[in-house]
Chain A
Amino acid sequence: GENVEQHPSTLSVQEGDSAVIKCTYSDSASNYFPWYKQELGKGPQLIIDIRSNVGEKKDQRIAVTLNKTAKHFSLHITETQPEDSAVYFCAASKKGTYKYIFGTGTRLKVLA
C-alpha cells in the first residue's frame, strides 16, 4: 500500500531563517499532497496543498514543491516566526479516493 516518509522528525531554526521539510511517497498514482499544521492540543489544519499537475505553489511565506519523477514533495517556510512552531504533517492521496496517507510528522521549533 501507499507509504509516506517524512523527515526530519525535528527541526530547530532561528527566527527569520528558512525551514524545509521533505516527504517521499511510494504510490505513483498519488496526485494530491496536502500539508497540515498541528498545534498542541488541536487538530491538524490545512496550510497548503498541491496537485500533481503543478510543480510549485506559493502562499505568502509558505511554498510547496513537487517532483513527480522522484516522488518527492517539500514544504518551505521562509522568514520563520515563533508562531510557526508546531508539528507539520505531509499527506498523499490518490485520484478518486478520500484516504489521506500521512507522514510521521516534523516538530518545528522556531527559536526567538
Chain B
Amino acid sequence: GAGVSQSPRYKVAKRGQDVALRCDPISGHVSLFWYQQALGQGPEFLTYFQNEAQLDKSGLPSDRFFAERPEGSVSTLKIQRTQQEDSAVYLCASSLAPGGTLNEQFFGPGTRLTVL
C-alpha cells in the first residue's frame, strides 16, 4: 500500500479482555515504532523494531503490553487483561532506514481503543 495501515481502526473491549492491534508498515521500511496517544496529548513512545528485532521496549507501560514483528514487516501490539487506563489511540509508524534522527517517521491512522 501507499502508506502505513492499521487495523482495526476502532476497538471496544471489556475490562480484562485481551486485544491485538495490527500494523502494516510501508513496504521495505526497516524501522517500526508503536506510540500511545492519550486524549488531548501528544504521542508517547512505546517500542521500536529494526526488522524483526525489538531493540527498545522501554516505553511499554506494563508487562501486559507485548509487541512482535516476527518476519520484519507486519507488527502486532497485544494488550492482555485490558484496563480502563489503556484507553487511547495506538499509533504505528515506520521509517525507511534503521533508527536515527535522519529518517522521517510515517504514521498510520491509529487504532482507537476504548476499554469499558
Contact = CB atoms under 8 A, between A and B. Distances in A.
Same assembly: yes
Interface of A: 4, 6, 31-32, 34, 36, 41-46, 49, 51, 89, 91, 93-105
B42 interface: yes
A88 to B, nearest CB: 10
A42 B109 contact: yes
Interface string B44-57: 11001000000010
Contacts of A102: 42-44
B101 A98 contact: yes
Nearest to B103: A98
B43 A98 contact: no
A36 to B, nearest CB: 8
Q: Helix, strand, loop or mixed for chain A's interface?
A: strand
A43 B4 contact: yes
* Interface size bracket, B side: 20 to 34
B79 interface: no
Given A97-B99, A98-B99, A44 B45 contact: no
Contacts of A51: 101
Contacts of B25: none
Contact of A100 (B40, B41, B102, B105): B105
B86 to A, nearest CB: 19
B38 to A, nearest CB: 10
